[in-house]
């Protein structure tokens, strides 16, 4: 996971360590998680500049991972337990809802979100992918507050091509789907340009360090 920092540097989650890399290339460890059998997976900063990042086990052990939040001047805080494969996150325009994916559940969850302290509560399922769709992985949100979700390992009947789903979180309706030729494992969704509605997006195939910067930047360093 890589995201831009407000000082022009980078925040990187590499295996079990979160680093700050300044513009001169110097690396500082911000946090090291204590479980060698787990690694950081997807991460994103929230509207207040907090860094949210989740973990997954190398052996994919179900329910053994967590979702964390790191804020400037504070210790890493565990926000959610019993996670299997922590993945995509997004926040609505009013900053009252946080959307979150646990890929092993094939589910997208919605939480009540408090901007002032990052608290999340009242989890509910807003979408569950069936087996033929693959697993939800990376996710982003547009100016209409609808979700765009990269589906992992969707190749059962598309000849090896990947898929992106456009989902209305109000009722879980799939509004559209986009086939991504040549990408059997879409991993992440990021807007490539500022947009009023849909303009352009990037959906890298799954590979190490495939995650790209969201529009918001953390205020950690």
pLDDT tens figures, 4-41:
888 888 988 888 899 999 999 999 998 888 777 889 99
pLDDT at residue 182, as a whole number = 60
Fold of 2-202: Neuraminidase (2.120.10)
Distance CA 21, CA 204 (A): 23
The pTM (predicted TM-score) of the whole model is: 0.81
Name 65's Cβ contacts closer than 8 Å, sequence gap at least 6: 38, 54, 55, 56, 57, 83, 84, 85, 86
* pLDDT at residue 81 is higher than 60: yes
Distance CA 85, CA 187 (A): 13
Distance CA 221, CA 66 (A): 23
Closest CA to 67 of 3, 120, 19: 120
What separation in angstroms does the CA of 183 have from each of 33, 202, 218?
Answer: 32, 12, 30
pLDDT at residue 199, as a whole number = 33
Chain mean pLDDT for the chain: 81
Summarize pLDDT for 113-158 with one digit per residue, the tens.
999 999 999 999 999 998 778 889 999 999 999 999 988 864 445 4
- Ramachandran bin of 208, using left for φ above 0, alpha for ψ from -120 to 50, beta for the remaining angles: beta
Domain parsing of the chain, residue ranges: 2-202
């Amino acid at each position: 996971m890589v995201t831009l920092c407000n000082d022009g540097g980078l925040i990187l989650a590499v295996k079990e360590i979160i680093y700050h890399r300044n513009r001169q290339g110097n690396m500082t460890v911000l946090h090291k998680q204590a479980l060698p059998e787990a690694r950081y997976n997807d991460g994103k900063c929230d509207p207040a500049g907090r860094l949210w990042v989740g973990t997954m086990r190398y052996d994919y052990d179900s329910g053994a991972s967590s979702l964390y939040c790191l804020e400037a001047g504070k210790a890493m805080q565990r926000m959610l337990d019993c996670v299997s494969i922590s993945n995509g996150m997004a926040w609505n325009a009013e900053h009252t809802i946080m959307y979150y994916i646990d890929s092993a559940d094939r589910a997208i969850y919605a939480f009540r979100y408090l901007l002032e302290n990052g608290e999340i509560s009242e989890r509910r399922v807003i979408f569950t992918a069936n087996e033929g769709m693959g697993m939800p992985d990376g996710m982003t949100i547009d100016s209409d507050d609808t979700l765009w979700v990269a589906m992992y390992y969707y190749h059962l009947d598309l000849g090896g091509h990947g898929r992106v789903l456009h989902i209305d979180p109000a009722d879980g309706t799939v509004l559209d789907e986009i086939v991504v030729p040549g990408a059997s494992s879409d991993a992440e969704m990021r807007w490539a340009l500022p947009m009023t509605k849909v303009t352009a997006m990037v959906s890298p195939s799954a590979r190490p360090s495939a995650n790209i910067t969201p529009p918001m930047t953390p205020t950690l360093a």
